[in-house]
């Protein structure tokens, strides 16, 4: 069966481990985007096989479970501004926030343009949490993992984080979650992020930044969130995401 634009496929040479959508085909090369993983790739068409099963969306993490007592208290979760370079992943994240009753605003902005626009968005929405994500990649041929020039978009994430920190210096008043697949974790943290990807330069699930943001938004303000348990909620754990110990951002009031 011929492979065409829009098909779901996997790559034989990678053990068919990741499901991609075919975005374009030129001269026998298919340009691919991960369905679940924030990853762009290209592949010879002969290496691909059609994925005929249904993609099971891995979005069943129940952030709100056991976090709220439904008695006489009321709850004001932290507010999230989610900036994403990919509209498909942004929409997935926005559905996840809605499912978990998190107040979130999403903006599709390219990784390159985010440093130029983030201050305006922070002024407009005044969030408790800002997510800065999209696509990234580490290119080994360009240099070692410490060289920012070896990454597709890490430098843009770093610039965006620095702009956000100029807006709010306190890591407690504005939580920043930044990075994408294979990003330079250390440099993004040094720039001022609370959480970043990717400690082991692995790919991350499209929902990983939203899982961290939602957990913090739905955790009681001024109470420390267990860092190890938080990272374990994400697809690849501490290999894909890391960060500093932070407090929750949800106000609890009484009575309802």
Q: Name the band, by pLDDT with cuts 50, 70 and 90, for residue 100.
A: very high
pLDDT at 66 over 80: no
pLDDT at 65 over 80: no
Residues with Cβ within 8 Å of residue 130, at least 6 apart in sequence: 80, 81, 82, 83, 118, 122, 164, 174, 175, 176, 177
**Residue ranges of E strands in the chain:** 8-11, 20-26, 29-34, 40-44, 48-50, 74-76, 80-84, 104-108, 129-133, 175-178, 195-196, 242-243, 251-253
SS3 of 29-67: EEEEEECCECCEEEEEHHHEEECCCCCCCCCCCCCCCCC
CA 144 to chain centre: 24
User: 149 is written with which tokens?
Assistant: 């020039």
So what's the pLDDT on residue 243?
A: 98
Cis amide prior to 70 (ω within 30 degrees) = no
Beta carbons of 84 and 106 less than 8 angstroms apart: yes
So what's the pLDDT on residue 186?
A: 98
Distance CA 174, CA 169 (A): 8
Distance CA 138, CA 157 (A): 14
CB atoms within 10 A of CB 8: 17
Distance CA 126, CA 164 (A): 11
User: 205 is written with which tokens?
Assistant: 């699930």
Cis amide prior to 198 (ω within 30 degrees) = yes
So what's the pLDDT on residue 241?
A: 98
Pick the CATH number of 74-242 from 3.90.226.10, 3.40.50.720, 3.90.1150.10, 3.40.50.2300: 3.40.50.2300
Distance CA 1, CA 168 (A): 54
Our CA angle for 44, 50, 55, nearest 5°, is 125
CA 13 to chain centre: 27
Q: DSSP letter for 77, please.
A: P
So what's the pLDDT on residue 76?
A: 93
Q: For residue range 192-248, what is the model confidence (pLDDT) as tens digits?
A: 999 999 999 999 999 999 999 999 999 999 899 999 999 999 999 999 999 999 999
Q: What is the pTM of this model?
A: 0.89
Q: At what angle do helices 154-167 and 114-125 cross, to 10 degrees?
A: 30
């Amino acid at each position: 069966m011929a492979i065409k634009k829009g098909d779901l496929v996997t790559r034989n040479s990678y053990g068919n481990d990741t499901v991609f959508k075919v975005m374009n085909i030129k001269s026998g090369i298919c340009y691919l985007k991960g369905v679940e993983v924030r990853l762009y790739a290209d592949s010879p068409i002969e290496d691909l096989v059609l994925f005929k099963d249904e993609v099971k969306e891995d979005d069943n993490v129940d952030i709100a479970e056991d976090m709220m007592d439904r008695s006489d208290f009321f709850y004001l979760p932290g507010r999230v501004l989610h900036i994403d370079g990919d509209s498909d992943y942004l929409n997935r994240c926005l559905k996840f926030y809605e499912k978990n009753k998190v107040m979130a605003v999403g903006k599709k902005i390219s990784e390159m343009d985010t440093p130029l626009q983030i201050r305006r968005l922070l002024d407009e929405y005044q969030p408790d949490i800002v997510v800065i994500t999209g696509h990234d990649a580490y290119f080994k041929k360009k240099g070692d993992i410490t060289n920012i020039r070896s990454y597709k978009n890490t430098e843009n994430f770093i610039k965006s984080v620095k702009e956000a920190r100029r807006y709010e210096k306190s890591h407690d008043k504005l939580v920043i979650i930044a990075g994408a697949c294979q990003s330079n974790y250390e440099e993004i943290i040094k720039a001022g992020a609370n959480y970043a990807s990717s400690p082991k330069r692995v790919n991350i699930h499209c929902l990983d930044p939203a899982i961290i943001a939602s957990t913090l938004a739905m955790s009681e303000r001024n109470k420390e969130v267990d860092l190890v348990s938080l990272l374990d909620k994400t697809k690849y754990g501490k290999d894909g995401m890391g960060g500093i110990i932070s407090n929750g951002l949800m106000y609890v009031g009484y009575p309802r």
